[in-house]
Amino acid sequence: MPLVDSPSFEDPGTKLDLEDNSPPEGDSQQAMTLRVIAALLAVAVVALLFLNISAGAERYGTITGVVQDLEGNPLQAEVFVIGVGSDNSVFPDANGAFTLQNVVVGDRELIVGYNGIGQSVRVNVATNATADVGTISVDTALEDG
């Protein structure tokens, strides 16, 4: 018998397991799938974070109009918006025309204040757009005692 065919060359006790130790092919595919899902979710998180930030950012528009008394005379009344972004107020010009800028978009309550009374006008303001409320006639006889 040739030496190479001797049974001693095949020792079950020290035989190395030459089988492939890598995970089964199915496990590799599962791990890859999980990683793809994780990557997609991570992209979704980033996108949602961006959208949340964009939604929270304030957008502004402008309101214009004319203020007069019941006789049609221009009136120097204080014009402002209640609520968010309403720190600014304006007074109409000599013709009663006013422009109120930097108004946070949305449904807003415009106030025309004169002699202690504020006349309320509802107006919807859109982003980078001008909302014209037209002519506001103020009853100057109203008073607050």
Partner 1 sequence: MMDKRLKTLSSGQSLVEYAFLLALVGLVAILSLQLYGVAVWDMLARVTVVFGDAPEEDSDSVLYSEDFNDGLGDWVSVNWGRRSSENWATEGGRLVADRFAGIFLPGEEFDDFRYSVDDVDLTATDDRWQGASLFFRADNGDGEDISGYSFRIQRPSENDPGRIYISEWANGYQVSPWLEEVEAPPDFDWEGSYDIEVVANGSRLEGYIDGELVITAEDDTYNSGSVGLYTHSGSSLTAEGLEVSSLGAN
Note the residues at the interface with partner 1 (CB under 8 A): 17, 21, 23, 27, 31, 34-35, 37-38, 41-42, 44-45, 48-49, 51-52, 55, 78, 80, 82-83, 89, 109, 111, 113, 115-120, 142, 144-145
Q: Which is nearer to partner 1, 115 or 135 (CB)?
A: 115
Nearest distance in Å: CB 67, partner 1: 14
Nearest distance in Å: CB 100, partner 1: 13
Q: Which amino acid is at 99?
A: T
- Which tokens belong to 88? 């600014």
CB 92 within 8 A of CB 74: yes
Nearest distance in Å: CB 104, partner 1: 15
Q: Which is nearer to partner 1, 10 or 144 (CB)?
A: 144
In terms of Cα–Cα distance, which of 91, 73, 90, 78 is closest to 135?
73
Q: Which is nearer to partner 1, 52 or 102 (CB)?
A: 52
Cα–Cα dist 76/98, whole Å: 10
Cα–Cα dist 129/133, whole Å: 13
Nearest distance in Å: CB 4, partner 1: 29
Cα–Cα dist 121/135, whole Å: 11
CB 8 within 8 A of CB 15: no
Q: Which is nearer to partner 1, 38 or 126 (CB)?
A: 38
Nearest distance in Å: CB 87, partner 1: 10
Cα–Cα dist 90/103, whole Å: 12
